[in-house]
Structures are given as C-alpha cells and as structure tokens.
Amino acid sequence: MRVFLIAGEPSGDKLGAALMQGLRARVPDVEFVGIGGELMIEQGLDSLFPMDEISVMGITEILSQYRALKRRIRETADAVIDARPEVLVTIDLPEFSLRVARLVKAGSDIRVCHYVAPTVWAWRPGRAAKMAAHVDQVLALLPFEPPYMEAAGMRCDFVGHPVVTDPQASPSDEAAFRLKHGLGEAPVCLLLPGSRRSEVTRLGPVFAEVAERLHEMNPDLRLVLPAAGPVAELAAALCDRLPGQPLLIDPRGRDPEEARAEKRAAFAAADVALAASGTVSLELAAAGTPMVVAYDMNWLSRQIIGRLLRTDTVTLVNLVAESRTIPEFIGANCRPGPIADAVLRVLEAPQEQARAMRLTMERLGRGGPPPGDRAARAVLAGLGIVDPEGS
C-alpha cells in the first residue's frame, strides 16, 4: 500500500507523523511518499523538497510568491499521479493542498483525503462545497466540524487532535529547566510569534514592543522564546531585540527529541504566554499554560478576512470550550499597549483560564484512543480496508 502525504508547516508535520505511525501499525508494508518536515521524515518519508517552501499564509504573501507556488503545485500534482498511491492525504495548508488535489482529480481517480477541515464555520462557508468536487474524505480535528463537511457531500470523521497525546514535562523537568537557565523563581513569559516566516516577520516587532513594556512594568519577568525550526534564524534575530535576559530555545543543530523536551519544559515553567493565533494555543492548553493570543496580517488580508469572518473569536481554546476566557488581539487590535496589559492581567489571575483549558482537552479526545490511530482507521475505512485491530 502506498500513501502520498503533503504537509507544509510544523502542525501539519505533527499530524502527518502520527497518521503515519497509525497506518504502519495496521499495514506494516505501507510505503510513504510526499512532502513533510522532520517528524514525518523521522517516520520514513523522503520529502520531495523542503516543507517550508510551501508554508505561506496571507493574500499578499501568496501573491508575492505565486509563480514559485504554482510551479510547486504542478510539480507535486505530477508526482502524485506518477506515484499512483491508494490515497493522497493532504494535511491542512489549503492554499496549496487543495490546488494539488484539484489537479490530481483532473488527471486521475486517486482517492483524496484532506486532514484538517477548513474553518467554514468561521469564514467562507462556500469552501466546503467547492472542495467536495475533488476531496472524497475529510479528517476533522474539532468535534463540531463533521456536519459542515457532510452537508457538502464528503465523508467526514472526527479523529481528535494529537495535542491531547503530547508528552508533558514533569515537575522535575520544569525544575531542571529553571536551574539550567538560571531562572530561579522569576515569573516566565513565553513569546511564540508563529512558525511561518511571514508570521514572525509581521508579529516580531509587535511582540518586541510588548516585551519592552512588560520589562518596564515588571523587571523581574523573564522572556523565553521557543523557536520553530523553519523560522529559527528569524526568532534568533528577534531575541536579540528583547530586553532583560531573554532566552532563545533554538532547535538548530540539536537532537530533535532533546529540543522538543526543552520546549515542553519551557511551556511547563512558563507562568504566561503571548502566542500567535493557531495550534500553539492548544499546545499551551495541554500544558496548562495561561495565554494571550495576538495576530495580524497585511492591510489587504485584514480587510478581506475581517469582512468574511463569521465568529467573534479565532482562538481554538475559546471555540472548543465555548468560552471567551483567552484574551485575543486580532488585526487592527494587535497593538502592543493593550496586549501588554492583558499579559499582566493573566499573569496576576491565571486561574480563570484553567477550566477552559481542561474542557478543551477533554473535548479534543484526551483519555480516548490516540488521534493518530483514529485518523489511520478512518483513512483505511475510507478505502474499504478492514482494520485488523477493529474500528
């Protein structure tokens, strides 16, 4: 059995790796081809080209790299058709993945499964009907998503979110982290400006100014910046601009598991986090780390998306827990002053977020079968293959 997978950012790489593990447990001779990052490569994928070449978000950013992306889309679709897999699994990154799926369907009868349902409940609901023309099945991370996909004519399986099975740092790991970096009992604030180059470039100056304000108001506060691999160089440059004694957790040149363990320890040691909108809010919730979310985009993207948005929050913890306990500053509201004030309020009263974070983990599948296994079972069921372990 051959499976072609496409992932274009760290969160997708994580989903892909867990799915690969689940498939191999059930079909030992499965062969994987496609595009992915370090986690998928560790699972045996030989990526066609570096994953970060297709990790682009935002209308202006996509337009500025349109020719290069179009070439990669065509190249990837041709590779899928040539490989003749039993199934193509595209993982998130709809700007790239669904264009590849369209070309693949136009040139073959290969089954297409898209992992991570588009946020049609938040904006552009017509996307579900459009993707149904070239997507056979959707794997949903959020429990309320299947009805939207099924209404458009696609099979949709809620498989849970892999964040619920992430290993968490122990108290001794946290203590060792603080000792290693000389943090003592100082309060710690994580800065998480994103995993895409466009995000770090745009949010970096805002986060740096927030850091300046926090340092002025609380000089004892220590800043820690865990860098995502694809943007480590940008994160290092940002860290050089931060006040006090900032700590950069740089994964470059390190054993991947060692780097991930240090990141987990940083999350556990943190008293508060300022994070870009996205999956990282769930990682923080899994670690029980209170947070503030901020995100901005270029003017054109802001105007278009702002008019299309159908929900009053974009933070996943707020959405899944059906609460609004996580402060967020999106678009025009992404301003250093209010953000810094919110970080300090959360630092002083973190307990308000605890219930929402616990409920989010429960609803995403904590305590149940691992999402990677559930995703593998759903993919095999979509192919009509009986799961040897039972589904």
Q: pLDDT band for position 164 (50/70/90)? A: very high
- Name the pairing type of β-strands 137-140 and 87-91: unpaired
The span from the CA of 90 to the CA of 267, in Å, is: 29
Q: Answer for the pair 327, 292: CB distance below 8 angstroms, yes or no.
A: yes
Residue pair 225/243 in contact (Cβ under 8 Å)? The answer is no
* Average pLDDT of the residues in 66-80: 90
- Per-residue pLDDT tens for 120-138? 765 677 889 999 999 999 9
- Position 59 confidence tier, pLDDT thresholds 50, 70, 90: very low
CA 233 to chain centre: 19
**By mean pLDDT, which of 161-175, 244-258, 310-324, 330-344 is the weakest?**
310-324
pLDDT reported for residue 57: 47
Provide the mean pLDDT of the chain: 91
Confidence of residue 255 (pLDDT cuts 50, 70, 90): very high
Please give the Cα distance from 178 to 247 (Å, whole number). Answer: 11
What pTM value is reported for the model? Answer: 0.76
Model confidence at 215: pLDDT above 90: yes
Residue 243 has pLDDT above 60, yes or no: yes
pLDDT of 1 above 60? yes
Per residue in 358-382, pLDDT (tens digit) is 999 999 999 999 999 999 999 999 9
**Strand 188-192 relative to strand 272-276: parallel, antiparallel, unpaired?**
parallel
3-state secondary structure of 328: strand
Report which listed range, 13-27, 116-130, 309-323, is most confident.
Answer: 13-27
Measured CA to CA, the distance from residue 274 to residue 207 in angstroms comes to 8
In the chain, what percentage of residues exceed pLDDT 90? 75
pLDDT category of residue 36 using cuts at 50, 70 and 90: very high
Judge whether residue 64 has pLDDT over 70: no
Strands of the 328-330 sheet, one edge to the other: 247-249, 222-226, 188-192, 272-276, 291-295, 328-330
Cα–Cα separations (whole angstroms), residue 108 to 79, 86, 131 = 12, 11, 16
**What are the structure tokens assigned to 100, written together?**
């590849």
Which tokens belong to 13?
């790489």
Q: Quick one: pLDDT at residue 158?
A: 97
Q: What is the pLDDT of residue 67?
A: 78
pLDDT at residue 60 greater than cutoff 60: no
* Terminal Cα distance for the chain, rounded: 19
Residue 120, pLDDT score = 77
- Segment 143-148 mean pLDDT: 91
What is the mean predicted confidence (pLDDT) over 69-96? Answer: 94
pLDDT, mean of residues 263-278: 96
pLDDT, greater one: 300 or 281: 281
Read off the pLDDT band of 310 (50, 70, 90): low
Q: What pLDDT was estimated at residue 241?
A: 95
Provide the CA 172 distance to its chain's centre, in angstroms. Answer: 27
State residue 305's pLDDT score.
60
CA–CA dist 297, 299 (Å, integer): 7
pLDDT of amino acid 58 = 44
Task: Band the pLDDT of 302: cuts 50, 70, 90.
Answer: low
Kindly tell me if the per-residue pLDDT of 388 is higher than 60: no
